[in-house]
Amino acid sequence: MSVEASSSLTRVDTGLANTQPKLPEPDAEIQAIVGAGKIGRYVVLRKLGEGGMGVVFAAYDDELERKVAIKLLHTTFSGQQQTLGQQRLRREAQAMARLSHPNVAQIYEVGDIGSAVFIAMEFISGCNLREWLRQTERPWRTILDAYMQAGRGLMAAHAAGIIHRDFKPDNALIGDDGRVRVLDFGLARPDATASDSLSSTSTSGVFHSVELTQMGSFVGTPAYMAPEQLQRHPADAQSDQFGFCVALFEALYSYRPFLGADTAELTDNVLHGRLIDPPRDSDVPGWIHQVLLRGLALAPEQRYPDMAALLQALSDDPAIARRRRLGIAAIVLAAGLAGGGGYAINELRAEPAPTCTGGEERLAGVWDPATSERVHAALTSAATTYAEYVATQVDARLGSYAAAWSGMHRDACETHQRGEQSDALYDLRMACLDDRRTALSALVEVLAAADASVVEKAVQAADRLPLLGRCADASALLAQVPPPDDPQVARAVEALDVKLAQARARSEVGQYQAALRETQPLLSEAESLGYGPTLAAALRLEGLIQDVLGEYGASRARAAAGRDDGRRRRRRRRAGLRDDRPGPRHRHAPGPLR
């Protein structure tokens, strides 16, 4: 049963009370801890956010020279709530520490300070998916891609026997690198059959907000809860699937699928299947809505068997499948015509086009069996108990990246040979792939000289290689600032970009001081060349490193300079002006990596 969407519905407004979630009163002990400036060995930098269970701070680990996020549990909970809150936070750390996946936030440590419990985790420069959606209007494919990443994080958790129980856009962060990580596994338990009630007594039958994670007669965020959770039954992977579909529905259509001003009204609508129809003017294809309807089924057994099946369904675009079928039909037809023409057609047939197999050769010496062995030997030589595991993970990730690079290189070549893309776009795709090859080469060289500190962040560095998908985005490639037309300047830009890639690779493995020393001289060189994208990339890299090292005044100035340079270039392009450089594009002058 569904109801028509009202035209008055706005983003994340589904008839819910227009009030902010009520958070706990200010916590005197937490204020005292933060006032002291340290949480354990971590130096507190600033508050990042606050929720129903605690406060999150940015902090700095001066032992390992890295920025971290610290989640600190509210100490204003009393009695059983305090104990249960501590149990929940410890469960979060234990659950997340069991996962090693690019789409799950990494946990470093769990500890106590006073009567409070804290978790130190990966600091992600970015925002949560709710904030990301509010920043600007985004195409449905972009939204779907971000949520598919979050779905893969949930799928990895389920494979490890962990149920999230509280998935929502606030619990998934999208980094500046475009990678989405799921976090806040505080309600997760390895045992899916355990009761979801943390307390046998309810504080209230109706909560103040359906959008805030609740404790009491049940736990979770009511707006994203599956029917079985709202009925106080145990949650499982199908429950996470339901919450994921609520969040994706909300992201695509700007409102959630079920109305409810409070928990009681929301529960009634969910349990009676009163879904809101998507807006009539939505450009989201109908097949996606059908996939979401199955994921939002009242009975768990009527949903998809698992997250993998749901994600596969969201990937099966009928338009792509139809084009593929038409392509195959055209090939069969051409073959039939050729066969009917006898030897005359064979004699007139042109020589076959050269095959597009140059990708593997381009990676020789960058990532091949020999370099793989070098990196593996360097990582395993570090005197750490987990070096062998890290080496195996890095080898798998870099191998996959190299294989994907070769595949994209081949696709660009074949698409160009078929006449399906212009020479200019082909050049841009190849230049983008050259950038990625440079980044891979720089990281391999850093890893090949690994020590114990590098081993700790090697997997994360491999996951943070520049996204290959950008090299297939024609709109983004065509919107780039043209490279210098002067061949000498273009070659200097290429050489400078290689040096920046090397400094960036050092920063990714945690060698911040060395990366900063390498980056700062490059700024003068970038300024002298006068090529905006490379200068902005150098400024941003220096600012990010300074931010990690706690040099916030300098990092903010550098970031502002990089943004101002970017705004100036965009204003000139909108006005129809070149970026201070006449002349055509030059194929081999790469811009910033990301």
Catalytic residues: 166
Q: What is the dihedral of CA 241, 136, 46, 91, to 10 degrees?
A: 0
Start-to-end C-alpha separation, the chain: 45
Are 103 and 152 spatial neighbours (Cβ–Cβ below 8 Å)?
yes
Q: Which of 293, 294, 287, 292 is nearest to 317 (CA)?
A: 287
Pairing between strand 116-122 and 66-73? antiparallel
52: Cβ contacts below 8 Å, ≥ 6 apart: 21, 23, 24, 212, 213, 214, 215
Pairing between strand 275-276 and 2-3? parallel
Q: For the chain, what is the total number of helices (H) and then of strands (E)?
A: 21, 11
Structure tokens at 180: 């989405």
Are 449 and 378 spatial neighbours (Cβ–Cβ below 8 Å)?
yes
Are 192 and 96 spatial neighbours (Cβ–Cβ below 8 Å)?
no
224: Cβ contacts below 8 Å, ≥ 6 apart: 166, 167, 168, 243, 246, 247
Helix, strand, coil tally for the chain in percent (to 5): 55, 10, 35
Are 153 and 181 spatial neighbours (Cβ–Cβ below 8 Å)?
yes
